[in-house]
Amino acid sequence: MSGTIEKTTTAELAPGVHIPLLGLGTWPLTAEDAAAAVSQAITIGYRHIDTAENYRNESAVGQGILRSGIEREELFLTSKFNTQWHSRKGVREAFAKASKRLGTDYLDLFLVHWPNPAQGRFVQACEGLQQLVDDGSIRAWGVSNFKPAHLRLVKEAGLDVPVNQVQVDPEHGQPEQLAFHREHGIRTAAYSPLGRNGGFLGHPAVTGPARELGKTPAQIVLRWHVQHGHVATPKSANYERQRENLDVFSFVLTQGQLDAIDALETGAPPRLDSDTYFH
């Protein structure tokens, strides 16, 4: 997908299930901060919100959605569950609890947050998710922080993973991971897409196009994600930054500009190693 121009603002995860490429990240917002940020974002035009059991903000996110007045079906809502629920029955329970906290009957996307390979039950978690899709509780399922070795085991169980949410930014391009995704038709969702206000936002490969196009460095990096076909969920509670982060569909980076940002890749692994870290 590298180098192609993504003309649409959504990607199809499953037949008829379209995920907006740009969503609002909600970690580490909690309580009223989370509710206010979500409500404001929806008013600005966000139609995709990313939360998780572990962020302890699902109830607040639900409040924010309610406050915005948006119709539920106009919103794409993603949540993730912890590894204690890794069984078919457990995933159903995790869904019941998450949907109750969020105040919704269904989720658009439900993710296995971490594989926890030592526990060895992430394949059962994926099977549980597929059952939730089959009975209409969720519209699509996916995983997060799964390395190719984990994804292979899911594949061997006969399941095609629609999406994997992993840490990706220009300095953490994870080329092997993303090549595996492309080879197996797995959509990449990028978390920490701005590298948590990463130093690369000041690099000439980013600030140059920003100046030429009259955009901010964050918009250039989010546009880079979009043109690579990544889903991206930048977090901000700030009105102006929420606005600019969503406004990345009215301009295009050239192949040379994309290549220069690609060249910022350092080969560094993600912050957290999903063979050992989990919650």
**Catalytic residue ranges:** 55
Q: Which of 4, 8, 119, 197 binds ligand NDP (CB under 6 A)?
A: 197
Q: Which of 162, 206, 235, 278 binds ligand NDP (CB under 6 A)?
A: 235
Stretches 20-28, 93-101, 119-127, 247-255: which one binds ligand NDP (CB under 6 A)? 20-28
Q: Which of 104, 192, 227, 257 binds ligand NDP (CB under 6 A)?
A: 192
Does 237 sit near ligand NDP (CB under 6 A)?
A: yes
Q: Is 268 helix (H, G, I), strand (E, B) or coil?
A: coil
Give min distance, CB of 196 to ligand NDP, in A. 4
Q: Which residues contact 218 (CB under 8 A, 6 or more apart)?
A: 194, 201, 234, 241, 244, 245
Does 241 sit near ligand NDP (CB under 6 A)?
A: yes
Stretches 65-73, 153-161, 179-187, 237-245: which one binds ligand NDP (CB under 6 A)? 237-245
Q: Binding marks (x or -) toward ligand NDP, 160..189, rule CB under 6 A?
A: -----x------------------------
Give min distance, CB of 237 to ligand NDP, in A. 5
Nearer to ligand NDP, 83 or 216 (CB): 216
Closest to 110 measured CA to CA, from 90, 126, 122, 134 = 126
Axis-axis angle for helices 239-246, 217-227 (nearest 10): 40
Q: For residue 47, what are the CA distances in angstroms to 22, 102, 146, 246?
A: 8, 16, 26, 10
Does 193 sit near ligand NDP (CB under 6 A)?
A: yes
Q: Which of 145, 164, 174, 188 binds ligand NDP (CB under 6 A)?
A: 145
Q: How many residues bind ligand NDP (CB under 6 A)?
A: 26
Stretches 6-14, 60-68, 151-159, 193-201: which one binds ligand NDP (CB under 6 A)? 193-201
CA pair distance 239, 42, nearest whole angstrom = 11
Task: Give me the amino acid identity at 212.
Answer: E
Nearer to ligand NDP, 145 or 227 (CB): 145
Contact 52, 80 (CB under 8 A): yes
Does 144 sit near ligand NDP (CB under 6 A)?
A: yes
Give min distance, CB of 105 to ligand NDP, in A. 22
**191 φ, ψ (degrees, to nearest 5):** -100, 165
Closest to 237 measured CA to CA, from 23, 69, 25 = 25
CA pair distance 125, 159, nearest whole angstrom = 11
CA pair distance 39, 60, nearest whole angstrom = 10
Q: Is 192 helix (H, G, I), strand (E, B) or coil?
A: coil
Does 238 sit near ligand NDP (CB under 6 A)?
A: yes
Could you tell me where the beta strands, DSSP code E, fall in 179-230?
187-191
Contact 169, 200 (CB under 8 A): yes
Does 79 sit near ligand NDP (CB under 6 A)?
A: no
Nearer to ligand NDP, 4 or 119 (CB): 119
Q: Which residues bind ligand NDP (CB under 6 A)?
A: 25-27, 50, 113, 144-145, 165, 191-197, 216, 218, 233-238, 241, 244-245
